Amino acid sequence: MCLLNSWILACNFLNCKQGAIPFNYLGLPVGANPRRASMWDPLVDKLRSRLLSWGNRFVIKKIVRIQREFLWGGVKGGRKISWVSWKEVCKPRGQGGLGVRDVGKVNLSLLIEWKWRLLYSENALWKDILVAKYGVEACQRVNWIGSVLPRRPSNWWRDICGVDVIDGCSWFGQHISRRIGNGESTRFWLDCWFGNSSLRFLRLFSVSSHQRSTVREMAGNGSGASQWELGWRRRLFVWEQDLLRDLLEVLPAIEFSDSADAWFWDLEDDGRFSVKSVYLLLGSVFNSESVFNDSQLKVFKNIVKSPTPSKVLAFSWKILRSRIPTKVNLVHHGIHVNGGMECVFCRGREETSDHLFLYCDFADLVWKAICRWLGLVIVIPPNPFLLFDCFLGAASSKNIRSGFSLIWHATVWSIWRLRNEVIFSNGVKDLEKVVNALKLLSWKWGAEVDGGGVRGGGVVRFELQAFVLVPFFSFALFASAGLALVALLLPYYVLFLLWGSFTGVGQVVPLIVVSWCFWRLNRRQSISNTYDWAITSSFTTTSPNRFLRCHHSYDMSVTKLIKCVILDLDGTLLNTDGIVCNVLKISLGKYGKEWDGRETLKIVGKTPFEAASAVVDDYGLPCSPIEFVSELSPLFSQQ
């Protein structure tokens, strides 16, 4: 008991607490047996807690891995070949990338927004809490390099403090400045109100008696550089007076106003901060220089503007980079290829990207057929960049340029699909088949992009066959309808003509008038149950759909008897039951099938692809709907 009392007296005299052995010092127990494993448990627990704090740093990597696996492996994902590095994929489209958002850069941009809000927000509860915890100076600091972190800061505050440090400099402070209004809230020495940094005169600042004064207080009653009232704690030395003269020479003349001082973000014209501008800045800082020249980068920018599916756009983008799974590229990645590395079409040279789509004899025939279809005369260039430029350069307007771009994508996509059919399905290269397939594919893509014609006002535009329909329209209107019908429809028709002249659509008529004229024409059809006249409809001139329909109608028409498939405003067949029945009879006869008319209800109001799908499924034809539609195209022109 006496010993215990003596310990208590000693603790009271030394003003300390009574401890016990073992006790922790620098994270380790002192006085314990080091041979026992339980002694080291505190150290292991501390290391485990420190390592667990790093787990959040790898969340972005997991998200990027999911994105990368989806891009190269599709919905199923999995580890596939990454044909292009993720940094190149995340580059803007004008720099040769796909424009995919980099999650890491987006996270940094959002963290930088908090730094801007710390400076810009005045009355906010969350800022008051941060000021109470970390101080006013920490929350108003622009350049955080060299700043000392407080004791036990939060992880969020740690990230905020070091988010803008690159190569020892603060890029955030380089793009922010203080715009002087009345000068009452801008500190003369501490804020960045002149240039992109605070005044770099540390010696003068150390002897200043107004280190926290505002610009308005330092200017006194004047408003020019010669009127500054700078107070000092003592008389300046001679060399300090030289520094003062240098300071007065660089200080600008200021005209105060009634508006408050405000921060200015120089990456935006209006001076307001935006996450997008920070993301673009990070891209320019972290992205490496492009290996493509300016003309090639222009092709990358234009190729993604085509009205084609995103999957096809990504495939064309990989063609420009020579990063598609050709035989040469597969062998380069260590994958064994059966049957050698020769081209599946010509069997003459190795299957590279440029050879498959440009140099191969079969690809050359496909491009020549497409050029004849479009009325182009070009020489196949040595690389896909120049070929795409040739297609765009041959277009005379923006609409035709968009249509040519769409057909370019459809051509390379059709060649690649035929190549896969030859390798994996024992397909046969057929020039006419692939040309018809890509024509149908281009028309289908154009129709999907443009949508239904009803959205264009419920009108039709006469394309190649307009001069044929107009005489019958006049005859049917005035000879059969009478004056009552003229009085009813003429004002409506005049309004549409005025709308067409204003929008540049051209000859347009109400849909009810066209339907009524078709009814008159249907009664005059020939004995062969085929229509004597037909039109191709399109609802607008600002789309590749009109351009493609024009070419398809010309390609599917007969030279002597101007006939083609009648299309409704939304791209479906219009009043063509007789034509469709005759075509299906001929097509099914080639497969040994007999048309029994049971598909009549299923094909009414359907697109050619939907009608062909119904026939192929019900009759069990040994072909795909696309192949069946490709066989129907020339038969429609014969009907």
User: What's the pLDDT tens digit per position in 555-590?
Assistant: 433 222 223 333 333 334 344 445 455 556 666 777
- Percentage of the chain surpassing pLDDT 70? 63
DSSP state of 208: B
- Say which range, 135-149, 223-237, 448-462, 583-597, has the weakest mean pLDDT: 448-462
**Is 407 part of a structural domain of the chain?**
yes
Query: What is the token pair recorded at 207?
Result: 């002897």
pLDDT in tens, 453-483: 322 222 233 332 332 333 333 334 444 445 5
Is the CB of residue 244 less than 8 Å from the CB of residue 236?
Answer: yes
**Same domain, yes or no: 368 and 399:** yes
Select the more confidently predicted residue: 501 or 581.
581
Is the CB of residue 581 less than 8 Å from the CB of residue 600?
Answer: yes
633, HSE (Cβ side, Cα atoms, 13 Å): 22
**Residue where the block lists tokens 């580890």:** 79
Is the CB of residue 366 less than 8 Å from the CB of residue 411?
Answer: yes
Query: What is the token pair recorded at 555?
Result: 């390609």
Domain count, the chain: 2
**Same domain, yes or no: 272 and 302:** no
**Same domain, yes or no: 401 and 331:** yes
Most confident of 57-66, 234-243, 473-482: 234-243
pLDDT in tens, 349-400: 889 999 999 889 999 999 998 888 888 888 888 888 988 988 888 887 777 8
Name, in order, each residue with C-beta under 8 angstroms of 387's C-beta and a sequence gap of 6 or more.
358, 367, 380, 381, 408
**Same domain, yes or no: 206 and 160:** yes
Confidence of residue 489 (pLDDT cuts 50, 70, 90): low
**Is 122 part of a structural domain of the chain?**
yes
pLDDT in tens, 403-449: 888 889 999 999 999 999 998 888 888 888 888 888 878 877 776 65
pLDDT in tens, 617-635: 777 777 766 666 566 555 4
- Please count the other Cβ atoms lying within 10 Å of the Cβ belonging to residue 262: 15
Q: For 497-519, what is the mean pLDDT?
A: 43
Give the number of residues written for the chain: 639
**Is 18 part of a structural domain of the chain?**
no
pLDDT given at position 434: 87
- In DSSP terms, 25 is beta-bridged to 28
Give the helix, strand, coil percentages of the chain, each rounded to 5.
Answer: 55, 5, 40
Is the CB of residue 351 less than 8 Å from the CB of residue 337?
Answer: no
**Same domain, yes or no: 307 and 167:** no
- Percentage of the chain surpassing pLDDT 90? 5
Select the more confidently predicted residue: 504 or 185.
185
386, HSE (Cβ side, Cα atoms, 13 Å): 8
pLDDT given at position 408: 92
pLDDT given at position 393: 84
**Phi–psi pair at 390, nearest 5 degrees:** -65, -40
How high does pLDDT run on average in the chain?
A: 70
CA 424, chain centre distance (Å): 33
Query: Which of 247, 277, 307 is at the close of a domain?
Result: 277
Query: What is the token pair recorded at 171?
Result: 């890029």
Is the CB of residue 440 less than 8 Å from the CB of residue 629?
Answer: yes
**Is 555 part of a structural domain of the chain?**
no
Confidence of residue 102 (pLDDT cuts 50, 70, 90): confident
**Same domain, yes or no: 305 and 443:** yes
Q: Which domain holds residue 268?
A: 105-277
pLDDT given at position 414: 92
**Same domain, yes or no: 232 and 320:** no
| Measured distance CA(228)–CA(556) in Å, rounded | 84
Name, in order, each residue with C-beta under 8 angstroms of 380's C-beta and a sequence gap of 6 or more.
358, 364, 367, 387
pLDDT in tens, 363-374: 999 999 888 888
Task: Map residue 355 onto helix, strand or coil.
Answer: helix
Q: For 283-289, what is the mean pLDDT?
A: 75
Task: Tell me the residue type at 439.
Answer: K
> Which phi-psi region, left, alpha or beta, contains residue 460 (left: φ > 0; alpha: ψ -120 to 50)?
beta
| Measured distance CA(368)–CA(357) in Å, rounded | 12
Handedness of CA 589, 593, 599, 600 (dihedral sign): positive
Is the CB of residue 312 less than 8 Å from the CB of residue 413?
Answer: yes
579, HSE (Cβ side, Cα atoms, 13 Å): 26
**Same domain, yes or no: 323 and 406:** yes
Task: Map residue 170 onto helix, strand or coil.
Answer: strand
Closest CA to 623 of 613, 636, 635, 633: 613
Is the CB of residue 204 less than 8 Å from the CB of residue 185?
Answer: no
**Is 197 part of a structural domain of the chain?**
yes
pLDDT given at position 243: 83
Is the CB of residue 204 less than 8 Å from the CB of residue 220?
Answer: no
**Same domain, yes or no: 249 and 305:** no
pLDDT given at position 409: 92
**Same domain, yes or no: 139 and 258:** yes
Query: Which of 400, 427, 448 is at the close of a domain?
Result: 448
Query: Which of 393, 425, 448 is at the close of a domain?
Result: 448
| Measured distance CA(441)–CA(92) in Å, rounded | 28
Does the pLDDT of residue 503 top 50, yes or no? Answer: no
b vs e for 138-152, b when ≥16 Cβ sit within 10 Å of the residue's Cβ? bbebbbbeeeeeeee
Confidence of residue 211 (pLDDT cuts 50, 70, 90): confident
Closest CA to 174 of 265, 244, 90: 265
Does the pLDDT of residue 83 top 60, yes or no? Answer: yes
**Same domain, yes or no: 332 and 206:** no
Angle between helices 361-374 and 431-450 (to 10 degrees): 50
**Same domain, yes or no: 269 and 124:** yes
pLDDT given at position 543: 39
**Residue where the block lists tokens 């127990």:** 29
Confidence of residue 215 (pLDDT cuts 50, 70, 90): confident
**Is 146 part of a structural domain of the chain?**
yes
pLDDT given at position 412: 93
Confidence of residue 149 (pLDDT cuts 50, 70, 90): low
Is the CB of residue 447 less than 8 Å from the CB of residue 571?
Answer: yes
Query: What is the token pair recorded at 341?
Result: 């590395």
**Is 162 part of a structural domain of the chain?**
yes
Q: Could you tell me where the DSSP H helices lie in 321-360? A: 327-332, 353-354
**Is 634 part of a structural domain of the chain?**
no
Angle between helices 384-393 and 310-320 (to 10 degrees): 120
**Phi–psi pair at 388, nearest 5 degrees:** -65, -40
Task: Map residue 259 onto helix, strand or coil.
Answer: coil
Confidence of residue 254 (pLDDT cuts 50, 70, 90): confident
| Measured distance CA(451)–CA(444) in Å, rounded | 11
pLDDT given at position 237: 85
Confidence of residue 29 (pLDDT cuts 50, 70, 90): confident
- Please count the other Cβ atoms lying within 10 Å of the Cβ belonging to residue 137: 11
Q: For 517-523, what is the mean pLDDT?
A: 36
Name, in order, each residue with C-beta under 8 angstroms of 181's C-beta and a sequence gap of 6 or more.
256, 257, 258, 259, 260, 261, 262
Is the CB of residue 553 less than 8 Å from the CB of residue 571?
Answer: no
Select the more confidently predicted residue: 229 or 354.
354
- Say which range, 289-298, 424-433, 492-501, has the weakest mean pLDDT: 492-501
Whether this model's pTM surpasses 0.75: no
- The enclosing H or E element of 489 equals helix 482-503
Is the CB of residue 249 less than 8 Å from the CB of residue 242?
Answer: no
pLDDT given at position 261: 80
